[in-house]
């Protein structure tokens, strides 16, 4: 049922054509290795093979294929583990189905999209990158890192400009450059990236 829902959702994406869909992982993996699709949407829990293994094999055999993982069993460690495999996006099944659309669009354009809710050890909600995480290469200048931290803290361009004694236009230009370098399109994903890169605390 969820696979059918995903298919209906993907049908709404402009210029996207589903060339294959499978209920089992092994035939899906064989198809991806042979056809090398532009993007793969895969569930972690499949009857015959784990989605992590599929992601690993597809990344090895078809390095240009973008990989979006969906799961109903998020954990604190999972996003970091998926990123280490080279996965481009991750969506918790409990999130609104619109998240899948946003994730597909972001991943297709070369960005990263990680959205989930997990419980922190203290009992509170934690972000997608809570827990252990791999180190990301930070392609930003010191000034861009400073602005990225402030954006992740929820500050608006006008506030950042006043704090750093810059013009709003300059801050906006820096923000655009940061988004392009990091490969994200919205503040939420930039915040997650900053956490993953160690620029801010989760």
pLDDT band at 3 (very low <50, low <70, confident <90, very high): confident
Could you tell me the CATH number of the domain that includes residue 24? 3.40.50.2300
Distances in whole angstroms, Cα of residue 110 to Cα of each of 88, 104, 148, 175, 179: 8, 10, 19, 17, 11
Task: Indicate whether 59 pLDDT > 60.
Answer: yes
Residues 96 and 188 in one domain: no
CA dihedral angle for residue 144, residue 150, residue 156, residue 157, rounded to 10 degrees: -20
Q: Give mean pLDDT, residues 180-191.
A: 80
Gap between the Cα atoms of 117 and 195, Å rounded: 15
Residues 146 and 184 in one domain: yes
Q: Give mean pLDDT, residues 10-26.
A: 89
Could you tell me the CATH number of the domain that includes residue 181? 1.10.10.10
Residue 138 main-chain phi, psi, to 5 deg: -105, 105
Q: Are 41 and 9 in contact (CB under 8 A)?
A: no
Q: Give the domain range for residue 180.
A: 142-197
Residue 137 lies in a domain: no
pLDDT value for 201: 65
pLDDT value for 137: 57
For residue range 106-120, list pLDDT tens digits in order: 888 887 787 754 443
> What is the pTM assigned to this prediction?
0.60
Instruction: Choose among 115, 109, 112: nearest CA to 137.
Output: 112
Residues 111 and 193 in one domain: no
Instruction: Choose among 129, 145, 135, 151: nearest CA to 201.
Output: 129
């Amino acid at each position: 049922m969820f696979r059918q829902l995903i298919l209906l959702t993907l049908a709404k994406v402009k210029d996207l054509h589903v060339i294959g869909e499978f209920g089992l992982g092994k035939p899906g993996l064989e198809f991806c290795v042979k056809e090398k699709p532009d993007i793969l949407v895969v569930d972690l829990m499949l009857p015959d093979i784990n989605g992590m293994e599929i992601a690993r094999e597809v990344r090895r055999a078809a390095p240009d294929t973008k990989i979006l993982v969906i799961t109903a069993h998020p954990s604190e460690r999972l996003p970091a583990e998926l990123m280490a495999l080279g996965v481009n996006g991750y969506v918790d099944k409990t999130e609104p189905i619109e998240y899948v659309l946003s994730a597909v669009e972001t991943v297709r354009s070369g960005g990263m999209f990680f959205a989930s809710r997990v419980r922190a050890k203290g009992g509170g909600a934690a972000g997608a990158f809570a827990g252990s995480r791999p180190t990301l290469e930070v392609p930003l200048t010191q000034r861009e890192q400073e602005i990225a931290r402030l954006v992740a803290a929820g500050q608006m361009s006008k506030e950042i400009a006043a704090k750093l004694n810059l013009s709003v236009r300059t801050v906006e230009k820096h923000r655009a450059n940061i988004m392009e370098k990091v490969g994200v399109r919205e503040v939420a994903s930039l915040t997650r990236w900053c956490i993953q890169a160690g620029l801010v605390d989760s």
